[in-house]
């Protein structure tokens, strides 16, 4: 037991990945594919089911909590609207950059047609689902997408993982209704949601404890199904490099552009100030856990006023995850490419919307993106089993994402503070 504690979860996941690869290769060599399919793969399926299981409650609770944490929106007025507007804007920009990257570099296309055919046979059902979805988009009115977003029955929507946008729609409606009511009227419901949020995050923790076994099972089954095809590894390497450098590009290019355009903050000063927070984010993989450091650095080093920092940064930790959105769009399209699913432009645009919303709903904890990715995949009809491909290299990418996420929060805080003349002069706390 004590031995177990010594190894962090991500190390166990990587171990699971390696053992899974080895098992898969051995199974191919020794003809144990059927055994793997019948006795190993189910553990992976259970893991995916657990992720899907928490998706609906998680998205509902964390969206409601995220949006209602902005209860002061009317009090803060201008600042509140600017903050939310900038957060949504920077997230959409990140998703669009991701979409361009993944379409230009096509990391999943290094797969041979033969392997792809094999994949398609394996996941016939998901593919049929996706085709049905595509059919709907094609045959419906141009407003089909919006029509589909509005549920006519919340229970039905909650019972179907591919209807995640409907859940998101309902959650936003619910939260908006909540913040328009008086604080006293919703006090109890708010604290109920706080408690529920803690419980669900705990469930996420518990499910993630099972991740090493899940990754082992899914990966060994995938390798066995693919008879040890090396295309898989080439594609995966390309995907990891694309995501890694893409996030680095955001940190080193996109945010400096925002700062240059909208503030007088010196880029060098900005990065010197937030470097410690980036390091904490990188090592904890949790933007929520990093919040105290981000706050301190922004107030003390960037001299952002307390009133702006104390509002903008905590809200950012809950709803602004540019790199998470960027990662989700790349991962979703990558998995679709590997499975040989051609996504039309309108489907890709639907993914833009889902990932933007999913990143708003994603919790700022390690692996927060993964659960939301399940949602993005389900709503786009892409097989969630594709997660097995990327789970093994998820942790280093999560570390990068988190560092970028808090950089985005600090950038928006600087922009808002600059526009309010609340930066550079106030005494630190």
Q: Which is nearer to ligand ASP, 111 or 282 (CB)?
A: 282
- Closer residue to ligand ASP in complex, CB, 207/369: 369
**Minimum distance from residue 286 beta carbon to ligand ASP (Å):** 4
Cα 15 to the chain's mean position, in Å? 23
Number of H helices, E strands in the chain: 23, 0
Three state DSSP letters for 7-31: CCHHHHHHHHHHHHHHHHHHHHHHC
Q: C-alpha distances in angstroms, 19 versus 22, 211, 394?
A: 5, 13, 16
The minimum distance between CB 370 and ligand ASP, in angstroms, equals 7
Unique residue bearing structure tokens 């919790």: 363
- Decide if 312 contacts 336 (C-beta within 8 A): no
309/311 Cα distance (integer angstroms): 5
Q: Please, what is the minimum distance in Å from the beta carbon of residue 329 to ligand ASP?
A: 12
Q: Indicate the residue among 21 and 250 with the shorter CB distance to ligand ASP.
A: 250
Q: Which of residues 286 and 418 has its CB atom nearest to ligand ASP in the complex?
A: 286
- Alpha-carbon distance 354 to 348, whole Å? 10
Q: Closest separation between CB of residue 203 and ligand ASP, Å?
A: 16
CB of 359 to ligand ASP, least distance (A): 8
What's the min distance (Å) between Cβ of 65 and ligand ASP? 15
Query: Helices 345-361 and 124-139: crossing angle, nearest 10°?
Result: 110
Q: Cα–Cα distances in Å, from 262 out to 80, 125, 160, 266, 419?
A: 17, 48, 43, 11, 8
Name the residue nearer to ligand ASP (CB basis): 341 or 377.
377
Rank residues 76 and 373 by Cβ distance to ligand ASP and give the closer one. 373
Nearest distance from C-beta of residue 267 to ligand ASP, angstroms = 22
Close Cβ partners of 214 (under 8 Å, ≥ 6 residues apart): 16, 43, 44, 46, 47, 48, 50, 391
| Distance separating alpha carbons of residues 321 and 369, to the nearest angstrom | 9
State in angstroms the smallest separation of the CB of 168 from ligand ASP. Answer: 17
Between residues 43 and 249, which has the closer beta carbon with respect to ligand ASP? 249
Q: What angle is formed at CA 127 by the lines to CA 24 and CA 387, rounded to 5 degrees? A: 40
- Of residues 20 and 364, the one with the C-beta less far from ligand ASP: 364
Nearest residue (CB) to ligand ASP, 19 versus 289: 289
Which residues of this protein are in contact with ligand ASP, per CB under 6 A?
285-287, 321, 324, 362, 364-369, 398, 401-402, 405
Query: Alpha-carbon torsion 407, 413, 415, 418, what sign?
Result: negative
Nearest approach in angstroms of CB 289 to ligand ASP is 8
- The 3-state secondary structure of 54-84, one letter per residue: HHHHHHHHHHHHHHHCCCCHHHHCHHHHHHH
CA distance 416 to 425: 15
């Amino acid at each position: 037991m004590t031995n177990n504690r010594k190894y962090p979860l991500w190390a166990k996941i990587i171990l699971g990945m390696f053992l899974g690869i080895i098992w898969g290769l051995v199974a191919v060599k020794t003809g144990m594919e059927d055994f793997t399919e019948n006795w190993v793969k189910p553990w992976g399926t259970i893991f995916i089911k657990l992720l899907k299981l928490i998706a609906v409650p998680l998205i509902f609770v964390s969206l409601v909590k995220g949006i209602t944490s902005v209860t002061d929106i009317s009090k803060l007025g201008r600042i509140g609207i600017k903050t939310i507007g900038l957060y949504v804007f920077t997230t959409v920009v990140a998703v669009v950059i991701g979409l361009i990257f993944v379409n230009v570099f096509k990391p999943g296309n290094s797969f041979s047609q033969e392997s792809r055919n094999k994949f398609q046979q394996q996941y016939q059902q998901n593919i049929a689902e996706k085709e049905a979805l595509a059919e709907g988009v094609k045959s419906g009115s141009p407003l089909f997408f919006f029509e589909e977003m509005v549920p006519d029955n919340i229970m039905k929507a909650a019972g179907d993982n591919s209807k995640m946008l409907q859940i998101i729609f309902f959650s936003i409606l619910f939260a908006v209704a909540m913040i328009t009511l008086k604080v006293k009227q919703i006090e109890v419901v708010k604290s109920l949601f706080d408690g529920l949020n803690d419980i669900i995050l705990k469930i996420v923790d518990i499910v993630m404890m099972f991740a090493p076994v899940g990754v082992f099972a899914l990966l060994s089954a995938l390798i066995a199904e693919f008879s040890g095809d090396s295309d898989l590894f080439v594609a995966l390497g390309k995907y990891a490099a694309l995501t890694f450098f893409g996030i680095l590009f955001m940190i080193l290019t996109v945010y400096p552009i925002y700062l240059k355009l909208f503030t007088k903050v010196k880029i060098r000063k900005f990065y010197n100030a937030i470097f410690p927070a980036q390091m904490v984010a990188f090592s904890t993989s949790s933007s929520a856990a990093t919040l105290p450091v981000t706050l301190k650095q922004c107030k003390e080093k960037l001299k952002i006023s307390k009133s702006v920092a104390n509002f903008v940064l905590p809200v950012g930790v809950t709803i602004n995850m540019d790199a998470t959105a960027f990662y989700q769009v790349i991962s979703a399209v990558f998995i679709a490419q590997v499975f040989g699913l051609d996504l039309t432009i309108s489907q890709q645009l639907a993914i833009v919307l889902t990932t933007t919303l999913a990143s708003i709903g994603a919790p700022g904890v390690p692996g927060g993106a993964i659960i939301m990715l399940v949602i993005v995949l389900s709503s786009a009809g892409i097989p969630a089993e594709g997660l097995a491909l990327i789970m093994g290299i998820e942790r280093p990418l999560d570390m990068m994402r988190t560092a970028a996420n808090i950089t985005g929060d600090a950038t928006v805080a600087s922009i808002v503070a600059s526009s309010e003349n609340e930066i550079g002069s106030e005494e630190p706390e």
